[in-house]
Amino acid sequence: MLELHRNLIDGEWVGTDAVENINPSNVNDVVGVYARASEEDTKRAIAAAKAAFPAWSRTGILDRHAILRKTADEILARKQELGELLSREEGKSLPEGIGEVTRAGQIFDFFAGEVLRLAGEILPSVRPGLGVEITREPLGVIGIITPWNFPIAIPSWKIAPALAYGNTVVVKPADLVPGSTWAIVDILARAGLPKGVLNLVMGRGSVVGQTMVDSKDVTAISFTGSVATGRRIAAASIEHNRKFQLEMGGKNPTVVLDDADLKVAVESVAQSAFFSTGQRCTATSRVIVTEGIHDEFVKALAERTRNLRVGDALDKDTEIGPVVDPSQLSQDIDYIEIGKAEGARLVSGGERVKRNNEGYFLQPALFTEATNAMRIAREEIFGPVAAVIRVKDYEEALITANDTDFGLSAGIVTTSLKYATHFKRNSEAGMVMVNVPTAGVDFHVPFGGRKGSSYGPREQGKYAAEFFTVVKTSYTLAG
């Protein structure tokens, strides 16, 4: 019998209604059994977070610092074990899983430091004899709703700043991957968080997520996930006059110019398009290539794509793990069919792969002769599928790169300082990469996009304070 992992509500581990967490590399492997919260459980979690807020918001900064530091230390000490858990439940390769866990530890460490660094401002007033102070205060109860593709990093980069700045939290991980979030909540609870400060409610978006969104006691919502869910959360949040932050989809371009270093271009695109099975919001899915290098680049990239080793996430030879579940797999396959029907040329991959285990394995798919008007170039696929679009020159490449409803990440591969500088200045994405993959970012600097990709203040680094605090301006008559 597998141990039941329960929800954490008001300091108690509770819940009996449970589901199995299935390994996408091997559907016969049950990663664990996890409770599913009801509407009633979720309401109790919100009430507990509300009740815990006044005391927690006034806790000494050294206490908050110590809890976050202790959490960081335990996550980092257990990175191998937690990396295996993550790779088993989500399917990214073990080095990627361990890398993500390491990042979660670094995030808690960073925000442990931020607790001690939160500063305000003191200004002279325009009125003689008055002083003005600008301070930052916690908001209240933060509802955190996360997707399946970064099961430990995304919950960490929301929970850590929320707690660091004195808020209380109700967190709901994606139903597909509750294990990694359960593990960090368990670590935080043992690190000394008072009851009710952090509550975990695992379960369905339509039940648990919707109850959080509908509650007037959730002061702010930090969400990462699809555009459709994000829009629903935005509409409900406006009704409640509530602060919200949305990180959503992407259709990220990498531009490859004639003067690019071919090896850098191929590796950069293969990494960003196909690693983590293409299931990253920052993945490259449009490869915009100028005429002079086009044929040579496509030949080399097709070769690299063909040779990518797809397999069990825990196998040491695996470069690309499985797709996360059957519904994402059928979405990927549907888009591969759509690409062919639209007239793009499938030059590599795109077929199911058989391995010893029964899992959702798909050889990464590379299309050429695509146009930016095709659905495979406009809609987020969220799988290992990329389309090469041929353009005449840099100017056409820039216009094509910006011609999208999204704006999360954009890359350019070039040896020209002139084009690199121009691209950094004129790309309409929130994050721009020169000669590095569009996916893969640092934990101590802001993360976020523009246009349809994001809404609200940036996440991560010291910029996280923008969302997780509210500014107060106080005037004092000095006498």
* Residues engaged in binding ligand NAD (CB under 6 A): 145-150, 172, 174-175, 205-206, 209-210, 213, 224-226, 229, 232-233, 247-250, 281, 380, 382, 408, 453
> What are the phi and psi torsion angles at 129 (to 5°)?
90, -10
Which residues are paired to 346 by β-bridges? 367
Degrees, nearest 5: CA angle 122-467-205? 160
User: Judged by CB, which is closer to ligand NAD: 31, or 408?
Assistant: 408
Nearer to ligand NAD, 167 or 222 (CB): 222
Structure tokens at 131: 């002083």
Strand pairing of 141-145 and 220-224?
A: parallel
Our CB check for ligand NAD shows the closer of 348 and 427 to be 427
Q: Please state, in angstroms and rounded to a whole number, the distance separating the CA atoms of residues 335 and 337.
A: 5
Nearer to ligand NAD, 83 or 155 (CB): 155
In terms of CB distance, is 174 or 200 closer to ligand NAD?
174
Rounded to a whole number of angstroms, the minimum distance from the CB of residue 247 to ligand NAD is 3
Q: How far is the CB of 210 from ligand NAD (least distance, A)?
A: 4
Closest CA to 220 of 52, 46, 443, 67: 46
CA distance 68 to 76: 12
Which residues are within 8 A (CB) of 315 and not within 5 positions of it... i.e. 6 or more apart?
Answer: none
Handedness of CA 466, 469, 470, 476 (dihedral sign): negative
Taking the mean position of all CA atoms in its chain, how far away is CA 139? 23
Cβ partners under 8 Å of residue 166, min gap 6? 56, 57, 58, 59, 64, 137, 138
Asked if 369 contacts 390 with a C-beta cutoff of 8 angstroms, the reply is yes
Contacts of residue 415, defined as CB under 8 A and 6 or more positions apart, other chains included, come to: 259, 260, 261
Report the nearest approach of ligand NAD to the CB of residue 365 (Å).
18
Q: How far is the CB of 130 from ligand NAD (least distance, A)?
A: 43
Q: Which is nearer to ligand NAD, 24 or 311 (CB)?
A: 24
Cβ distance to ligand NAD smaller for residue 249 or 411: 249
The C-alpha R_g of the chain, in whole angstroms, comes to 23
Q: Least CB distance from residue 194 to ligand NAD, whole Å? A: 26
- What is the residue whose two structure tokens read 């995030």? 107
Phi, psi (5° rounding) for residue 293?
-105, -5
Closest CB to ligand NAD among residues 320, 429: 429
CA-nearest of 221, 201, 197 to 54 is 197
DSSP state of 365: E
Could you tell me the smallest distance in angstroms from the CB atom of residue 468 to ligand NAD? 16
Q: In angstroms, give the least distance from the CB of 4 to ligand NAD.
A: 20
Residue with tokens 């593990």: 183
| Extended strands (E) in 232-335 | 243-247, 252-256, 284-290
Dig out the tokens for 410 from the structure. 């954009």
Q: Nearest approach, Cβ of 209 to ligand NAD (angstroms)? A: 2
CB 464 within 8 A of CB 136: no
- DSSP string for residues in 417-463: HHHHHHHHHH--SSEEEESS-SS---SSS-B---GGGEESSPBSGGG
CB of residue 129 vs ligand NAD: minimum separation in angstroms?
48
Residue spans of beta strands (DSSP E) within 182-320:
198-200, 220-224, 243-247, 252-256, 284-290
Q: Report the catalytic residues.
A: 247, 281
Closer to ligand NAD by CB, 285 or 414: give it: 285
